Amino acid sequence: MTTSPACPACLLYFDDEAAPAQRLAQAATLPAWAIDRHRFPDGELKLRLPVDAAGRLPPRAVLLRSLHQPNEKLIELLLAARTARALGAEHLTLVAPYLAYMRQDMAFQPGEAVSQQVVGGFLAGLFDAVVTVDPHLHRIDTLAQAIAVPHALALSGAEPLADLIAQRRPGALLVGPDGESAQWIAQAAARHGFDHAVCTKVRHGDRDVAIELPPLDAQGRAVVLLDDMASTGRTLALAARLLWQAGAASVDVAVTHALFAGDALQALREAGVGEVWSTDCIPHPSNAVPMAGPLARALRQCGVSC
């Protein structure tokens, strides 16, 4: 580890996120220090945080952990955050470009865990600030309602993705897969004056959805399906097929979070989707939009800088 005595802050990261950590560290002008991780034969984890010659951390520390495949990572956050406090970090910021467990914000059946409240409370007990991108919020307006910390910043991938679309598909028609995407789609469309519309979706289960196209003229148009995340890809695939039937000249997909579980990408290809673009919030071959710059600016809003 290389210490930086003149900098009262550092960026902590795990080895599987070394590349995005270096991009964020460069954009935020922070020293980046790796957390050593060891797995015992029984599956338990041992972490060793990087410290200076005096065995201490700077007073402000940023922990980068994108929370896709989140279950074990939540234990890592618990161990790392509590240890960082003990080692001198007075202010801790979590940068989670993808924030898990936000979609379940109420109990739909008796006895269901409301994971947004549980995980939100857990993170609020560990960190002073949380920075994320396009959290999957439904019935609340702000991230601070889910994670009660002094700084809860939710960035959006809509405008950076719109910039990419303007370069790759000038004059495209933007289409959102459901009503929840309406405000997000409008934000992206306004940036470059794109025409836009939103589908109607009825979900019967995780993999059972039906959608209807809104009134639109897709004939001969380059269409980009835009959403905050792609998981199974079924909704986007259904929309792509309908758009081809409506006469679209091309159908591409742009998403903030490239989850793409199982055969999701294959389902999109089979539906006629051409290009698939995503931000780098979740590492994936489709990554085309870096978020290090916006994340670095958010860190400065949280008072983290050198």
Kind of pairing, strands 45-48 and 32-39?
antiparallel
Inter-residue contact 278 to 287 (CB < 8 Å): yes
Q: Residue 86 — φ and ψ, nearest 5°?
A: -65, -25
Residues 6+ apart with CB under 8 A from 190: none
Does the annotation count 201 as an active-site position?
yes
Which among 136, 201, 234, 284 is annotated as catalytic?
201
Inter-residue contact 68 to 98 (CB < 8 Å): yes
Inter-residue contact 147 to 195 (CB < 8 Å): no
Q: Cα separation of 99 and 281, whole Å?
A: 10
3-state secondary structure (DSSP) of residue 108: coil
Q: Which residues are marked as active site?
A: 201
